[in-house]
Structure 1
Amino acid sequence: MINKNSLAAVIAAYKQNFSTHWENEKYKWEAVQHFQDHWDINASDFAEMFTKATDKTNNLLASVNNYPRRMIQLYAAADEEATRAMFINLYDESKHFAERVEKFQSDAEAMRVKYDQGTWRQHFQTLNSISTYLWLRYPDKYYIYKYSECRAVAKVLDSDFIPKKSASSRNLVGEFHLYNEICEQLKKDKELVQMLQSVLTDRCYPDKALKTLMMDLGFYISRFYTKKSTEDHAEWFPMDYSPNITTEEWLALLADKRVFNTKSLKIMKRIKDCGGMATCKQLSEKYGNNSNYYNSGSSALAKRVAETTECPLMTSHNDNAKWWPILYVGKHADKDMAGNYMWKLRDELSKALDQFDLSEIPLYEEEPQAKISQGKEKQGYWWLNANPKIWRFSDIDIGETQRYTLYNENGNKRRIFQNFLDAKAGDLIIGYESYPVKQVVALAKVLEESDGEYLYFEKTEGLVTPIDYATLKNCPELEKMEYFQNPQGSLFKLTKEEYDFIEDIIREENPITPKENMETYSKDQFLEEVYMTEERYETLISLLKHKKNLILQGAPGVGKTFTAKRLAYAMMGLKDDSRIELIQFHQNYSYEDFMMGYKPKEEGFQLQYGIFYKFCQKAANMPDQPFFFIIDEINRGNMSKIFGELLMLIEKDYRGTKATLAYNGMPFTVPKNLYLIGMMNTADRSLAMIDYALRRRFSFFEIEPGFHSAGFQSYQSALDHDTFNILIERIKELNQEIAADSSLGPGFRIGHSYFCGQAECTDEWLKEVVEYDILPMLHEYWFDEPDKLQRWENILRGVFNDER
């Protein structure tokens, strides 16, 4: 049992700090989802699969003096099948999990003894690491066990169970029951559940059972909550880590220009001027430069210090967070402060700065205009040639940070080494791939100047239509371009004129959609326009989100295309047609139209990109926004011929997975933020059933005539037209007979859209609908039943002959 009042206080504090806490801890949810996406116990290469599945776990399976993940990789290299068997047994849910954990440990020790070459002193398969494997595989059932965290949770919540040293099985079982008890209370806190759901992305495991949330709460209790009432000095983090660098050693480092460059000394002087502690925001506002200048500059400096001194590093899941503790201790800033997190110089570094001459280091930045006039801060422009043997632009997501080494695999400086040193944060990059396509494929920008080892940049746009090398090479305006003069190397200077010229060519093929004030669109508007019940709307949304691929099927006139577009609007919350693509399949539609293929040009054939390929690239450029590809008459095309390898890539579980395309040899992926909506007419007898391979990748939703919906009834009432009312009653009766007909069925009913969209309701318009839409369809339905057809002709025409 736990103290529920104590738990309530913990949850309140956790919710108060959730937004800042989440940014550091969301990697846990991402690690689980990544594992779920890549784990395959029967993989032909177990070691490769294990490495891929666990490569997002960071400090969970690798920390200072603790290397469980690395040992599994070594075991798999020594005996793949024995290692596989360890995990098969661990994940056998028919056995008690404590027994499985103990077996895993004993098997790991046996492997260590058998294959040790004198270097494997431990197997590192502790309760912590093994419970991590269980949590990754079954995140809706297990938690990661960590003695210190479990003990802190138990004490704070006055639990009957307190873990004890050297009581492994008991601790494991005890934590399981303790955390389950707490988890049940978390599920009752609707606000907390909503907070979690609001920040989860497609990269995060949904965590419906809240097990990972519970585990994170345990981490919060042990790391932050238990320290909140201690003295101020104890609030600084981390208190259990030191780089072990003395004041004298810091003085020597300060004098080493390879470690403390001018930028680093500026940061140090400004923090000292603030009393030895400040947030990046405070430094930015007081002395100039943006917050990232201080954040990234401190991380880069710390890396150089670590490389020079080989000091111990702090264990951290976040690459940045393992560096700054070399220089500082930190804590969350007070609410009335500018910035979120405060750094304080380590005592030894602060004392060294007191003794070091910083008089020549400027305290304040010059005004930007002054810098420009002096030629010090001109915008830089670069041509970056990706080496496909190492990386491709297509492997980088929009906004993802990529680093490029200043030295090749042999340790030699890259060609035109000075270019890497000259690149500055904010410089713009043309992204080029020299193999296999020889095309400009992306735009990027420099995030951070080189730290002596890497240059950091991020991809800002993937080109929907890449630009061929030959197109640029034949332009006289670019004949003096550094890359065209000598293409040996990676990073090449561009003049502003050269960059602008290339960008103009890019924009001719890749125009930027102008931002407009778009009309909002809500669920209520959908229900008003589409004539569907709220329950069916919620089902429709759920199916599309869950499967990402949906086919709307139904009789003619039920508004499938209209529904598809408004479904997209409702999910976007806006009427944004720039994120919707609508096409129609037909018998001659091909893969070359859809994805890519060679088309005749004046000088032979040229590879052309299809509409789906371009739309996927467009969606990938805005990963946080949903995009909708709508296919009318989807079953009229040859599915296998049109989709090709996309049959795999459109599956939800394979979204984001890259496959090499046959035409250009480049990797391609269907982004996770793209939704496919197809429409299929169930009353068209000429169409074969949809391809089974495609069918199992879609959810199918029957769009029914909406005559009985509240929306249609409201529309009908507003028309207030007697003939309309009578005709609709006859159509309802007709639909009942069609649905009961064994040769037809519900899929052949008459849809409501035939009777919508007219500004004014008149008898003339209604007659046209009957004579030229409804009756021709009935002739096709009952061509072999003339008596039934005649009866319904009389009934429908008779609506207009009633004496009223």
Structure 2
Amino acid sequence: MGLHEKKIAGVPQFVSYFVPVIESMRQFEGQARPKQVFQKIIGNYEIPAEFLALTHKKGGSQFENKVSFARAYLVKAGVMTAPARGIWGLSDAGWKATLSDEWAANIFRIAREGFAVDDEEEKAPEDGVVSDSLGFWFVGASWSEGDQTERFLRDGIWQNGYEDKFSKLVRQMKSGDRIAIKSSFTRKNDVPFENYGRAASVMRIKAIGTIMGNRGDGLTVEVNWEEIDPPKEWYFYTYRTTVARARVEEDDMARRLVAFTFDGAEQDYGYFLGHSYWAERFAPNVDPMSISEAEDAAEDDNLSEQEILPYTVDNIISEGGFLERETLTGLVDRLSSKKNMILQGPPGTGKTWLAKRLAKALIDRKSPLPDQLRSVQFHPSLSYEDFVRGYRPSSNGLTLTDGIFLQVIEAARAQPDLAHVLIIEEINRGNPAQVFGEMLTLLENTKRNRADAMELAYRKIPGEKIHVPDNLYIIGTMNIADRSLALVDLALRRRFAFVTLEPLLNDAWADWCRDKSFPEDVIALIRDRVGALNEVIARDRALGPQFRVGHSYVTPSDDDCSDARVWFSEVIDTEIAPLLEEYWFDAPERARDATQALRVGL
């Protein structure tokens, strides 16, 4: 097979010219004119005359066009340079590169992050998107009453099955937009690629159509439908929510999905298996124990849609959240808009407890998928190399390895319709500016797009750029009573919303204690004693309000005790007294007096 016929899987045909261009540039000692490179490739690869005679629709040479496209991408990737007008140059990366088809495909994917293909003839079949100005919608049709696909096709409509969800998205649908009815599930068996017995995400396309009108009620759009019989199945990059818009302007994977769904393109499984997110999950040597129980539980070989139990602020309240419903709703809304939030407060105010539940309320899922909600704890020795990317020992020496932050970024990119949350506990125990590095800039909610992508300190491929997806949220917790920690960097403060949690021995706390069979006199005693202690701490010049004792210390769990007085006495002895001894380490008599005051009447 000649160069003009060669096709590397998963990328446009002109990517096959990457290696020949670099080889030719090396033969010219790193600098050459375009015509010289054209002639060198023709001679090296014996390009037939009949192919050289072919022209594209604008009249230019197809061969020269492909070579020029290759050179443009190589410049974007940092492998080639433009030292002068009409001169092509080779960079240090171009001299050092180990040339192969795999290298060429990776270079293309990196360069493409900031470089759109304009010539239709040079696009991969998967890239044949009609227009970035059109909307491409993927919607579900399963209601509590059953599958509505047949009714939708018969009546020429699609309807949102929820009155309180997705209405904003439905109102964004406009005439001319394309729409597809889908169902999403996971499958272990009978997949068209080697999955080594692991569950793969599947999206079944049942019908496609064009939106003819929007009734403006957030519920119904009119559609000219075309049934897909038999339905088509798409793997890896799937939408699990009822309404999702494919962001073709931002994501190559979305463009491929749209071309598959509406233009009849074949799915290139190799392209997705080459993506780090799926490569890790479907690698032949991956440890089966590394697949979490939650992920395994999501598997569904019966091809039914997964039942999702919602999670709202009402769940937070029922589980022991003592903030007002309006306050909790405001926190979820603020997190949704700002993208980054830090919960700070005295010890025992439930910062980590609330962070996890705010995350689930944002995700709107009682049991989030394993990749949707992850946690990490900062500590003084944590580095950029641990958190973002760095070299780590392996059997082959040192390997450039992604940390948890890049892992959650890739997971969010792979599941664009789902919210993903990273909880960072004790964020001020590390050095956030140092740990995040250049990624700190990318946290801003206004820079969550490909146009603001940046190169990392450690790049796997020359020119590689990363951006933080719009569906990734970060919640940090911070104990403001820890005297060993420095003030938070101002750059971090600007990118996070800060919320201070207070000790809450309010009516909601009292109702919780009553539900645990605490007598009224014990509830009143705990509230009075802890309240008095916190007043003493707040007035102490060496301490202050940030050192008050939080309500978590005196909030019983379901099976904490049978005798409320005994339980409170044990909490004083084993939790509060040691804390006070640490507070007043230079005045032990004050700690002793405060502890005795708590015990009076017990």
Q: TM-score, normalised by structure 1?
A: 0.41
Whole-angstrom distance in 1 between the partners of 2:568 and 2:234: 67
SS in 2 for 1:430: helix
Whole-angstrom distance in 2 between the partners of 1:691 and 1:380: 45
Whole-angstrom distance in 1 between the partners of 2:512 and 2:225: 60
Question: One-letter code of the match for 2:454?
Answer: A
- Answering whether residue 361 of structure 2 is matched by residue 546 of structure 1, we say no
1:431 alignment counterpart: 271
1:727 alignment counterpart: 526
Whole-angstrom distance in 1 between the partners of 2:571 and 2:377: 25
- Answering whether residue 594 of structure 2 is matched by residue 594 of structure 1, we say no
Q: Which one of the candidate residues 535, 538, 555 is aligned to 1:756?
A: 555
SS in 2 for 1:521: coil
1:793 alignment counterpart: 595
Whole-angstrom distance in 2 between the partners of 1:740 and 1:280: 63
- CA 1:618/1:507 → structure 2, altered by over 3 Å: closer, same or farther? farther
Contact kept? 2:526, 2:554, Cα under 8 Å? no
Q: Which one of the candidate residues 341, 356, 369 is aligned to 2:224?
A: 341
Q: How does 1:353-368 map to 2 (within 5 A)?
A: none
Contact kept? 1:332, 1:340, Cα under 8 Å? no
What does the per-residue CA deviation read over 1:625-656, in whole Å, with 9 as the maximum and x for residues that have no partner? 21110011100112122101111111111112
Contact kept? 1:554, 1:703, Cα under 8 Å? yes
Whole-angstrom distance in 2 between the partners of 1:619 and 1:608: 18
Whole-angstrom distance in 2 between the partners of 1:673 and 1:599: 29
Whole-angstrom distance in 2 between the partners of 1:572 and 1:280: 24
- Answering whether residue 511 of structure 2 is matched by residue 714 of structure 1, we say yes
- CA 1:668/1:761 → structure 2, altered by over 3 Å: closer, same or farther? farther
Q: How does 1:66-105 map to 2 (within 5 A)?
A: none
- Answering whether residue 528 of structure 2 is matched by residue 688 of structure 1, we say no
Contact kept? 1:549, 1:697, Cα under 8 Å? yes
- Answering whether residue 539 of structure 2 is matched by residue 740 of structure 1, we say yes
Q: Which one of the candidate residues 454, 458, 468 is aligned to 1:659?
A: 454
What does the per-residue CA deviation read over 1:745-775, in whole Å, with 9 as the maximum and x for residues that have no partner? 2211111111224312533332221012111
Q: How does 1:589-628 map to 2 (within 5 A)?
A: 589-628=382-421
Q: What is the CA-CA distance between 1:701 and the residue it aligns to?
A: 0.5
Q: What is the CA-CA distance between 1:586 and the residue it aligns to?
A: 0.5
- Answering whether residue 312 of structure 2 is matched by residue 464 of structure 1, we say no
What does the per-residue CA deviation read over 1:380-402, in whole Å, with 9 as the maximum and x for residues that have no partner? 99xxxxxxxxxxx9962543348
Aligned-residue Cα RMSD (Å) equals 4.3
- Answering whether residue 491 of structure 2 is matched by residue 522 of structure 1, we say no
What does the per-residue CA deviation read over 1:248-300, in whole Å, with 9 as the maximum and x for residues that have no partner? xxxxxxxxxxxxxxxxxxxxxxxxxxxxxxx999xxxxxxx9654xx6xxxxx
Contact kept? 2:373, 2:423, Cα under 8 Å? yes
Structure 2 gap ranges (5+): 1-162, 182-204, 216-220, 236-247, 299-305
Q: TM-score, normalised by structure 2?
A: 0.54
Q: What is the CA-CA distance between 1:732 and the residue it aligns to?
A: 1.0
Whole-angstrom distance in 2 between the partners of 1:542 and 1:424: 40
Q: What is the CA-CA distance between 1:426 and the residue it aligns to?
A: 4.7
- CA 1:503/1:465 → structure 2, altered by over 3 Å: closer, same or farther? closer
1:771 alignment counterpart: 573
Q: What is the CA-CA distance between 1:582 and the residue it aligns to?
A: 1.0
Q: How does 1:24-39 map to 2 (within 5 A)?
A: none
Q: What is the CA-CA distance between 1:658 and the residue it aligns to?
A: 1.7
Question: One-letter code of the match for 1:659?
Answer: M
2:496 alignment counterpart: 698
Contact kept? 1:380, 1:424, Cα under 8 Å? no
1:199 alignment counterpart: 168
Contact kept? 2:375, 2:424, Cα under 8 Å? yes
What does the per-residue CA deviation read over 1:511-538, in whole Å, with 9 as the maximum and x for residues that have no partner? 8654265543222221232111223223
1:636 alignment counterpart: 429
SS in 2 for 1:340: strand
Question: One-letter code of the match for 1:199?
Answer: K
- CA 1:429/1:733 → structure 2, altered by over 3 Å: closer, same or farther? same
Structure 1 gap ranges (5+): 1-193, 205-212, 221-236, 238-278, 282-288, 296-319, 322-329, 344-363, 370-376, 382-392, 405-419, 433-439, 443-462, 468-500
Contact kept? 1:396, 1:402, Cα under 8 Å? no
Whole-angstrom distance in 2 between the partners of 1:331 and 1:380: 28
- CA 1:403/1:788 → structure 2, altered by over 3 Å: closer, same or farther? closer
- CA 1:397/1:730 → structure 2, altered by over 3 Å: closer, same or farther? farther
SS in 2 for 1:684: coil
Q: What is the CA-CA distance between 1:741 and the residue it aligns to?
A: 2.5
SS in 1 for 2:271: strand
- Max radius of gyration: which structure? 1
Whole-angstrom distance in 2 between the partners of 1:587 and 1:632: 13
What does the per-residue CA deviation read over 1:315-334, in whole Å, with 9 as the maximum and x for residues that have no partner? xxxxx99xxxxxxxx8999x
Whole-angstrom distance in 1 between the partners of 2:414 and 2:315: 29
SS in 2 for 1:680: strand
More strand by proportion, 1 or 2? 2
Question: One-letter code of the match for 2:224?
Answer: Y
Whole-angstrom distance in 1 between the partners of 2:340 and 2:350: 19
Whole-angstrom distance in 2 between the partners of 1:675 and 1:774: 34
- Answering whether residue 466 of structure 2 is matched by residue 668 of structure 1, we say yes
Q: Which one of the candidate residues 350, 356, 376 is aligned to 1:583?
A: 376
Contact kept? 1:398, 1:623, Cα under 8 Å? no
Whole-angstrom distance in 1 between the partners of 2:543 and 2:554: 22
Q: How does 1:256-655 map to 2 (within 5 A)?
A: 291-292=207-208, 340-341=223-224, 396-401=251-256, 425-431=265-271, 441-442=274-275, 463-464=276-277, 466=279, 514-515=297-298, 517-528=307-318, 529-577=320-368, 578=370, 579-655=372-448
Contact kept? 1:464, 1:618, Cα under 8 Å? yes
Whole-angstrom distance in 2 between the partners of 1:673 and 1:703: 26
Q: What is the CA-CA distance between 1:798 and the residue it aligns to?
A: 1.7
SS in 2 for 1:600: strand
Q: How does 1:122-201 map to 2 (within 5 A)?
A: 198-200=167-169
- CA 1:291/1:581 → structure 2, altered by over 3 Å: closer, same or farther? closer
SS in 1 for 2:274: strand
What does the per-residue CA deviation read over 1:643-697, in whole Å, with 9 as the maximum and x for residues that have no partner? 0111111111111232222322422121111110000101111111112221211
